[in-house]
Chains A and B, each alone.
Chain A
């Protein structure tokens, strides 16, 4: 067996595995009958349907008639930098406050670009800080910790 269409093959695998996981997890809830459906009934049905669809996606991808399709290059650096920036923001916000979180988010995520430039990044961070304060804090009155908690004492 040769995987000809990689995209369909892995999509199929993903669907089958997810469908089965949901089916297994649904067993811990009461399934019930069609007249009295328990919390496990619908998810169990859907999990099965998904696994079947996964098989239907997977099988043609290994047949001789399948188009040869590779998965385009994955760039882990960009995925990581963008998502780490978001995670750092979320970690920093409650204790260190919005100002610190903002600078961390903008700096880390900017490095992901092909044309990173520290000066423009810092300038845009300051502009965004002022803008966010005006629009979100003053204008829309959204509630979020702005300064680090050790400065505000609460």
Chain B
């Protein structure tokens, strides 16, 4: 059994004291920022990325950063249920029924089902990752430059289609990201493009500075514009044990949520947020008691919370097998690998088996830690919610500034966050989602490189993308996706699916 062998390598790697410690640090931090509204995994991972320079082993760095991402999915539900605020954007739908359960004095079972559902989903997703990653990587070895380019086109289009809001604007944001990615030295000619003779710009704009500015700082300003209003049900969390009836109703929802989340997580641009929304919509549609939804239906907590955790984990599959980040968080994971001179792609599994399998196994261990962190210790996290935002946001600003400085030990990167904060703020005001831009930014240089190589091989003949079967089918899927989105009937359905998402 090759799989068992591989898992054994994983357990040996993830089980070292050092890696267990950083896995714990990751999931604890993830829970913390998941609980706190106003700071998400993206900004946190960006903040901590420079700190991983010091780590001797890139596996340790990835284990910790991954823990922050899926840990945040657990923490987010706590705030959603107890405060009616999404601690994380993927917990938006959990507020609908979770908070209603809390108001009826059933916060305990809601929290328990959310955590246990997440754990179940996390376990299944870990196995999916272990089982499907190797065959996918095999396929990836058959890819030439044309296929890689086509795949990135598909990835970006899919991210746009699945994103919230106007498709055209999201497409333009992707292109803007690609263009910003062009800034810096061109590898082929050595020309410093769009750098205006600023030496720091000839290395390109730091991804961390972009992410911090657009997601961290712009969010803070937008949050400050709204006055806060929190009502916490802290004293009422007494009995965590769900009743038998709860379990009977929740279990099928957990199963469906895990399935939906796993599939959507693999798709580009999917990730945790979309997974939770879709799961809620499906639970409501197939329920025998749709009228209970919005008034404390346990399925409305169990399904989405399982789905977001499953989605968070399976979104690692395209990153680990193809080397292509499909969500901004995965783009940061790629950055973490590149810091340690590991080129992400299908070869990672064979060249760095310890990293690959260690990371996968650490996710399961991390999920186990999360159940313990979130159920018995839930009271501790809730106390954190009493820290008012006016004390919290200056601290977030400070940590971001420290992180940005530490990328190159240069204040230039701190200054760079400012224009991107303004950009992020303006785009939010204009209803443009910044996430597709970030994806474009990461893929920009890679896409140009693959396009160049494909065209050099074909001697400038564009038809190469349509005559190679794999590349042609990838592009066909992308085209079909675009056509479907612009069909009027789908357009209205899509608006419906994202209604309530803000």
Chain A residues with CB under 8 Å of chain B are 7-8, 10-11, 14-15, 18-19, 22, 25, 29-30, 33-39, 42-43, 46-47, 49-50, 53-54, 56-57, 69, 71-75, 78-79, 82-83, 85-87, 89-91, 93-94, 102, 105-106, 109-110, 112-117, 120-121, 124, 128, 132, 136, 140-144
Question: Are A14 and B430 CB-contacts (below 8 A) given A109-B393, A142-B402?
Answer: yes
Give the most central of B54, B169, B451: most A CB within 10 Å.
Answer: B169
Instruction: Give the CA-CA distance A10 to B166 in the complex, in Å.
Output: 14
Asked if A43 and B193 make an inter-chain contact with CB atoms under 8 angstroms apart, the answer reads: yes
Question: Are A105 and B422 CB-contacts (below 8 A) given A18-B176, A53-B175, A71-B429?
Answer: no
B186 within 8 A of A: yes
Asked if A114 and B227 make an inter-chain contact with CB atoms under 8 angstroms apart, the answer reads: yes
Partner of A86, one of B191, B401, B430: B401
Main secondary structure of the interface of B (DSSP, over half): helix
Main secondary structure of the interface of A (DSSP, over half): helix
Collect the chain B residues with CB atoms within 8 Å of residue A69's CB: 431
Question: Are A132 and B398 CB-contacts (below 8 A) given A22-B179, A34-B462?
Answer: yes
The contact string, 1 if C-beta is below 8 Å from chain A, for chain B 172-216, is 100110110010001011010110000000000000000000000
Instruction: Give the CA-CA distance A100 to B202 in the complex, in Å.
Output: 31
Asked if A124 and B179 make an inter-chain contact with CB atoms under 8 angstroms apart, the answer reads: no
Which 6 A-B residue pairs are closest in the complex by CB-CB distance?
A: A35-B460, A113-B390, A90-B414, A34-B460, A39-B186, A53-B172
Collect the chain B residues with CB atoms within 8 Å of residue A114's CB: 224, 227, 390
Partner of B217, one of A11, A50, A82, A140: A82
Collect the chain B residues with CB atoms within 8 Å of residue A102's CB: 398
Partner of B179, one of A7, A43, A57, A113: A43
Instruction: Give the CA-CA distance A126 to B429 in the complex, in Å.
Output: 35
Partner of B54, one of A34, A128, A140: A140
Asked if A49 and B455 make an inter-chain contact with CB atoms under 8 angstroms apart, the answer reads: no
Identify the stretch in B9-17, B81-89, B329-337, B404-412 within 8 Å (CB) of chain A at 4 or more residues. B404-412
Asked if B418 and A83 make an inter-chain contact with CB atoms under 8 angstroms apart, the answer reads: yes
Instruction: A7-B430, A11-B169, A25-B194 are known; give 9 further A-B pairs, CB within 8 A.
Output: A8-B169, A11-B430, A19-B175, A33-B460, A34-B461, A75-B225, A82-B221, A86-B217, A143-B406
